[in-house]
């Protein structure tokens, strides 16, 4: 069993499942946003902000934000552990990535409820 | 028998390690040199122009590269998300940038392209998880489909942006 103190689920199998569930959420969210923009070519601010004022859209978007955080961490953890062999370099890169993910998460929540 | 390494007379055009078929009239000397080449610990053929990754390996690394690009691209996506919901003026600024700014269009197309490939390659991953087409031929086939479908999506994304 793959165990590592820096991976998300503390087991490879858990990370495998997290990566797939978050991928499905992000695929659905991507399809939704792309189709919404395609079918609303003359989109204005009132309609756009009205969409994100809906409770279901806030739940869907928050779910997507959390999925981005989990998906990016599992993916970038895999990439950094595969290619950054020096422990010092890898840990610094992983700290920067975690910090960036945290900033994106807080930023997204603020946009979602700040508008 | 001398153990010094000598240039091998083996054909240098193939990347595989299967021994080349010997001509009928092979001399004692050439057979000995083949024997030495085969038993040498040194790599005989490292002609990089004849060695290439199979397509599934290329789509696999491209999946990783597009994933890293998308993570960096989140900065632009979050900027547009934040700005467009901040005020009518902010919304106008984002639509104006996407309509008129060439750099913004290029970034949008680049990120949509990375997203398209990552999306299609991700579905290929889910198919493999579902045990669909997990053979050598199936792997190559799915990699080919991934390249073709994402190429079409990338062109469509370009049409959408411009």
Interface A-B: count of C-beta contacts within 8 A:
52
How far does A24 lie from chain B, in Å, by closest CA? 9
- Residues B6, B81 share a domain: no
Q: Show the domain range for B13.
A: 1-52
Pick from A45, A48, A108: which is nearest to B78 by CB? A108
Q: Tens of pLDDT along A18-44?
A: 999 999 999 999 999 999 999 999 999
Q: Do A45 and B88 touch (CB under 8 A)?
A: yes
Q: At which of B32, B52, B72 does a domain end? A: B52
Q: Which of B147, B82, B68, B142 is nearest to B110 (CA)?
A: B68
- Which residue stretches of chain A have pLDDT < 50? none
- Residues B94, B115 share a domain: yes
Confidence (pLDDT) at B94: 97
Using a pLDDT cut of 90, give the percent of chain A over it.
Answer: 84
This prediction's pTM: 0.81
Split into its structural domains, chain B has a count of 2
Confidence (pLDDT) at B95: 96
Using a pLDDT cut of 90, give the percent of chain B over it.
Answer: 67
Written in H, E and C, the secondary structure of chain B is CCCCCCCCCCCCCCCCCCCCCCCCCCCHHHHHHHHHHHHCCCCCCCCHHHCCCCHHHHHHHHHHHHHHHHHHHHHHHHHHHHHHHHCHHHHHHHHHHHHHCHHHHHHHHHHHHHHHHHHHHHHHHHHHHCCCCCCHHHHHHHHHHHHHHHHHHHHHHHHHHC
Split into its structural domains, chain A has a count of 1
- Residues B96, B42 share a domain: no
Q: What is the CA radius of gyration of chain A?
A: 17
- B91 contact A CB<8A: yes
Residue A88 inside a domain? The answer is yes
Q: Which helix (H) or strand (E) holds A44?
A: none
Q: Which of A22, A21, A15, A23 is nearest to A77 (CA)?
A: A15
Confidence (pLDDT) at B27: 58
Does the structure show a pLDDT above 60 at B4? no
Q: Show the domain range for A36.
A: 12-114
Residues of A in contact with B64 (CB under 8 A): 75, 78-79
- Residues B153, B84 share a domain: yes
Q: Tens of pLDDT along B21-74?
A: 444 455 566 677 667 666 667 666 677 777 888 999 999 999 999 999 999 999
Pick from A20, A45, A104: which is nearest to B74 by CB? A104
Yes or no: say if B126 and A27 are a contact pair by the CB < 8 Å rule. Answer: no
- A49 contact B CB<8A: yes
Tell me the ipTM for this assembly: 0.93
- B52 contact A CB<8A: no
Helix (H, G, I), strand (E, B) or coil at A15: helix
- Residues B78, B2 share a domain: no
- Residues B64, B48 share a domain: no
């Amino acid at each position: 069993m793959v165990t590592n103190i820096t991976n998300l689920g503390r087991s490879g199998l858990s990370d495998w499942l997290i990566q797939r569930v978050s991928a499905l959420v992000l695929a659905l969210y991507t399809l939704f946003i792309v189709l919404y923009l395609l079918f609303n070519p003359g989109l204005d601010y009132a309609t756009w902000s009205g969409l994100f004022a809906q409770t279901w859209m806030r739940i869907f978007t928050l779910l997507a934000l959390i999925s981005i955080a989990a998906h990016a961490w599992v993916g970038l953890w895999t990439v950094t552990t595969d290619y950054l062999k020096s422990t010092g370099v890898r840990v610094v890169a992983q700290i920067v990535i975690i910090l960036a993910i945290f900033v994106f998460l807080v930023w997204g929540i603020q946009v979602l409820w700040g508008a | 028998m001398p153990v010094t390494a000598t240039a091998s007379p083996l054909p240098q055009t193939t990347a595989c390690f299967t021994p080349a078929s010997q001509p009928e009239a092979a001399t004692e000397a050439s057979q000995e040199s083949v024997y030495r080449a085969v038993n040498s610990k040194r790599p005989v053929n490292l002609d990089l122009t004849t060695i290439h990754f199979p397509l599934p390996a290329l789509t696999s690394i491209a999946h990783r590269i597009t994933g890293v690009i998308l993570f960096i691209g989140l900065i632009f996506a979050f900027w547009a998300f934040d700005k467009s919901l901040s005020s009518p003026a902010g919304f106008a600024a984002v639509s104006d940038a996407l309509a008129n700014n060439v750099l913004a269009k290029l970034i949008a197309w680049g990120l949509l392209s990375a997203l398209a490939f990552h999306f299609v390659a991700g579905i290929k991953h889910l198919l493999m998880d579902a045990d669909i087409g997990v053979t050598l031929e199936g792997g190559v086939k799915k990699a080919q489909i991934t390249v073709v479908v994402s190429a079409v999506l990338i062109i469509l994304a370009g049409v959408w942006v411009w």
